[in-house]
Copies of this chain bind each other. A is one copy, B any other.
Amino acid sequence: MIKLSETEIQQKLQELEGWEYIDGAIETTFEFKNFKETFSIMTRIAFECEAQNHHPNWSNVYNTLNIRLNTHDANGVTQKDFQLAQSIEGIIDSE
């Protein structure tokens, strides 16, 4: 996987609403109704991550979910991160 340049990252981010490039990763934060709803969506995302063999740096407090994606092996952001971000958005949109 080839590390994307900052220009490429910023260009691809235009297709993803609410995501930003911060400290070497693409990042977003979602808010849901409560903990149960948040963890249910985390579970759906977890299955997708496992299927793509690509895993987030994510944190949760009650109804808030922060997700950061980068590619450790490439030491930066790659196409894999954008693929997973699109899948996450698909899960969120289907709710």
A residues 12-62 near B (Cβ < 8 Å) are 35-36, 39, 42-43, 46, 49-50, 55-62
Give Cα A19 to B39, complex, Å. Answer: 24
- Find out whether the CB atom of A59 lies under 8 angstroms from the CB atom of B57: yes
For chain A, the count of residues having a C-beta within 8 Å of the partner chain is 16
Residue pair B61, A35 in contact (C-beta under 8 Å): no
Enumerate chain B residues within 8 angstroms of A43, measured Cβ to Cβ: 39, 43
A44-82 vs B, Cβ < 8 Å mask (1 yes, 0 no): 001001100001111111100000000000000000000
A46, A57, A58 pick with most chain B CB within 10 angstroms:
A46
Q: Is the CB of B61 within 8 A of A57?
A: yes
